[in-house]
Structure 1
Amino acid sequence: MAEAISMADRVIVLTNRPASVKSIHEIKFTLDTKRTPLSSREAPEFKDYFQGIWKELDIHV
């Protein structure tokens, strides 16, 4: 998930089977430098995207 957030322009969350689109997150960072995976992961917005998408996943441990 971290790789998808750091590299993609949007992340699509799917439901359990049969899969359908649960949500679409447009990924936008306010960076002072060129966007790279590393700079994206260091951006303040990264943790908000990560935590928000993580909460949407129906993962039972």
Structure 2
Amino acid sequence: MDKKFVLVDYENIQKIDLSILDDTYSAIIFVGARQNPPKASKHKATAHRFSRVDFHKQD
């Protein structure tokens, strides 16, 4: 099965809903130099929602 990616610029789009995509999709979210990834991605209770997400901080 092929893996599909969704690329997101977090500076332009802060609310992302991956629930409409099936498990073959993953997301790469580019975070600006002056931004931080969403706090929910680091909290134990909500981190599971980000299992298919990789954050890449831009310099």
Q: TM-score, normalised by structure 2?
A: 0.28
Which has a greater percent of helix? 1
Tell me which structure has the larger Cα radius of gyration.
Answer: 1
Q: TM-score, normalised by structure 1?
A: 0.27
